[in-house]
Chain A
Amino acid sequence: MFFHPAVIAILLASGLGVAMLLAAAPFAAQVIRRWDTGSGSELQLVLERRTYLFSTLLAFVFAAQLLGLLLFVFNADAMAVMFVGAMCAVGTLNVNPWGFPALGAQVALFFLAAVWLAINHLDNQAPDYPLVRLKYALFLAFGPLLAGSFALQFAYFQGLRADVITSCCGSLFSADTQGLSGDLSALPPRPALWGFYGSLALATAAAGHAWLRRRSGPLLALASALAFGAAMAGILSFLSLYVYEHPHHHCPFCILKPEYGHQGYALYIPLFVATAAGLAAGAVQLCGRKASLRARAPALTGRLAATAGAGFLLFAVVATAMIWRSNLILLG
């Protein structure tokens, strides 16, 4: 399946990211070993200048992840016609066991990169760069993680075989794999509904608290992670049903399609922004304990918390509006 344009593009994007991060690794390691804030030596100046390259590089990887993620989902949807029983992206991702892990890894890397960029932003505000070693230790970890994600994608695409007609007989008899019908095993709607609104309320409240009091960032990070999980479960188990007005169509991707007015973007953009900001708020507060950052971290925590709160709230409002407008009655 490698001779497929979108597959080539996806693999190119993440492969390029891996290559660049791995090439930068020795230089990042040197920053960790030789960093000396007080020194006026030329080496220190070189190292300081290198940090600009690394943060630009990671911003690049971050953008690559985002675009790669979108393309990965779009492509899975477009390729659904090639697999027996696959109705949409879910079916395509289920064709072999690597599809969903690859997607999950990309999402996780996206959030990790967002957190790194937030830490970097915080660190750049203190003249002594107190988080340099932490930052570059994390930076070194990115290379292998991205390589892992690349390997998952590679394994996934390698395992894709379109069910095409062979010369002797129709594909009907070659590989009739039942159960890829695009249904995900979803939670029953009622508990999912409670969990959905409960965790969103918790996350919004935590964000509000962190915004006003400029603390409890770690709590917000936890609540954000929880809310992200619950929101995804909610989209799978009931929200998608309301959008499609069909009691068995659980796909989280089809809502992105033009048939459903691209409604999915109104859900996913606030959700991803809010989760990234919430996670970053936690990281920023934890890192902000360093003496030189104590004055600056709370403001950034507050800003991130405000973003997270607004995002979760917007997400909840959009989701509720979708349920409201739907003609489907799921819970009597």
Chain B
Amino acid sequence: MIELSGIRKVFNQSRHNEYRALDGIDLFLAGRQITALSGPSGSGKTTLLTLIGCLARPTAGRVRLRGEDISGLPERFLTEIRRRTFGFVFQQFNLVRGLSAVDNVMLPAYPLGPTHRELRDRAEALLARLHLADRRDARVEWLSGGEQQRVAIARALINDPEIVIADEPTANLDTALAKAFMGILEELHAEGRTVILTSHDPLVTGSVAVHRVVALRDGRIVPP
């Protein structure tokens, strides 16, 4: 599904504070699997996730999505691929404060220009599926942590992506909620979606739901 070869990512290029986040990553991620990227903070796992999710471009190396080289694509085209292929769940949930749950869920679809009825129906169906039907018109800052995360998941699914990407999804959740989240991941997998997440939470990396764990340290892949 996703193939990375010789990936390097350098920040602050040719400046005194130059920093290599990733240094020579070769990785193949199969489709319809749940893959976890693990490692201590600063190991480069989030950077790697941004490259996989077309949020950023590598300084060197190739990223192939379904065999197509996307590493050299300008942002305009990367965005086009990203919004049709990937759904994102962020560590801080990153919901827009002041908007209702359903408005937050609909946000990623705005630039695609769906009809009002169609998008609204889709968003409400997703919220209902994640047991948030009664909270749909509540402002997101009034929701609990678990509810916020489920809104974020609904938002990630609004454009029906093939691949769901989650960055440290359980970092702000207690054990019960983290387990519930893993349950949702399994559902997504059962629907045929690919899930890629980063985590250093043993509850995630040790979970039976996770098919593969890729360990990172200092910008390189190391044996787990």
Answer whether A and B are interacting partners: yes
A interface residues, Cβ below 8 angstroms from B = 37-38, 40-43, 45, 48-49, 124, 127-129
Question: When the two chains form their complex, are residues B76 and A124 in contact, meaning their CB atoms are under 8 A apart?
Answer: yes
Tell me which of A41, A43, A49, A127 contacts B73 (CB under 8 A). Answer: A127
Question: When the two chains form their complex, are residues A41 and B72 in contact, meaning their CB atoms are under 8 A apart?
Answer: no
Tell me which of A37, A40, A127, A129 contacts B59 (CB under 8 A). Answer: A40
The 5 closest A-B pairs by CB, nearest first: A40-B59, A127-B77, A42-B13, A40-B57, A127-B73
**B219 within 8 Å of A (CB atoms):** no
Chain B residue at smallest Cβ distance from A43: B13
Contact pattern, B 111-131, Cβ under 8 Å of A = 1, otherwise 0:
000000000000000000000
For B77, the chain A residues whose CB sits under 8 A away are 127
**Total A-B pairs, Cβ < 8 A:** 27
B interface residues, Cβ below 8 angstroms from A = 12-13, 57-60, 71-77
Tell me which of A43, A49, A128 contacts B75 (CB under 8 A). Answer: A49
For B75, the chain A residues whose CB sits under 8 A away are 45, 48-49
For B12, the chain A residues whose CB sits under 8 A away are 42
Given contacts A45-B57, A127-B77, contact A37 B13 (CB under 8 A): no
CA gap between A45 and B57 in the complex, in Å: 9
Chain B residue at smallest Cβ distance from A128: B72
A47 to chain B minimum Cβ distance, whole angstroms, is 10
A42 to chain B minimum Cβ distance, whole angstroms, is 5
Given contacts A41-B59, A45-B57, contact A129 B72 (CB under 8 A): no
Question: When the two chains form their complex, are residues A41 and B13 in contact, meaning their CB atoms are under 8 A apart?
Answer: yes
Given contacts A38-B72, A127-B73, 15 further A-B contacts (CB under 8 A): A37-B72, A37-B74, A40-B58, A40-B59, A40-B60, A41-B13, A42-B12, A42-B13, A42-B59, A45-B57, A45-B75, A48-B74, A124-B76, A127-B74, A127-B77
For B60, the chain A residues whose CB sits under 8 A away are 40
CA gap between A38 and B58 in the complex, in Å: 11
CA gap between A229 and B59 in the complex, in Å: 52
Chain A residue at smallest Cβ distance from B75: A48
CA gap between A127 and B75 in the complex, in Å: 9
Chain B residue at smallest Cβ distance from A129: B74
CA gap between A127 and B54 in the complex, in Å: 14
CA gap between A38 and B74 in the complex, in Å: 10
For B74, the chain A residues whose CB sits under 8 A away are 37, 48, 127, 129
CA gap between A128 and B72 in the complex, in Å: 8
For A129, the chain B residues whose CB sits under 8 A away are 74
CA gap between A45 and B72 in the complex, in Å: 11
CA gap between A49 and B74 in the complex, in Å: 9
Question: When the two chains form their complex, are residues B76 and A40 in contact, meaning their CB atoms are under 8 A apart?
Answer: no
B211 to chain A minimum Cβ distance, whole angstroms, is 30
Chain B residue at smallest Cβ distance from A126: B77
For A45, the chain B residues whose CB sits under 8 A away are 57, 75
CA gap between A45 and B11 in the complex, in Å: 12
For A127, the chain B residues whose CB sits under 8 A away are 72-74, 77
CA gap between A49 and B13 in the complex, in Å: 17
A129 to chain B minimum Cβ distance, whole angstroms, is 7
A/B interface sample: 17 pairs, CB < 8 A: A37-B72, A37-B74, A38-B72, A40-B57, A40-B58, A40-B60, A40-B71, A41-B59, A42-B12, A42-B59, A45-B75, A48-B74, A124-B76, A127-B74, A127-B77, A128-B72, A129-B74
A51 to chain B minimum Cβ distance, whole angstroms, is 9
CA gap between A129 and B77 in the complex, in Å: 11
For A124, the chain B residues whose CB sits under 8 A away are 76
A200 to chain B minimum Cβ distance, whole angstroms, is 36
A38 to chain B minimum Cβ distance, whole angstroms, is 5
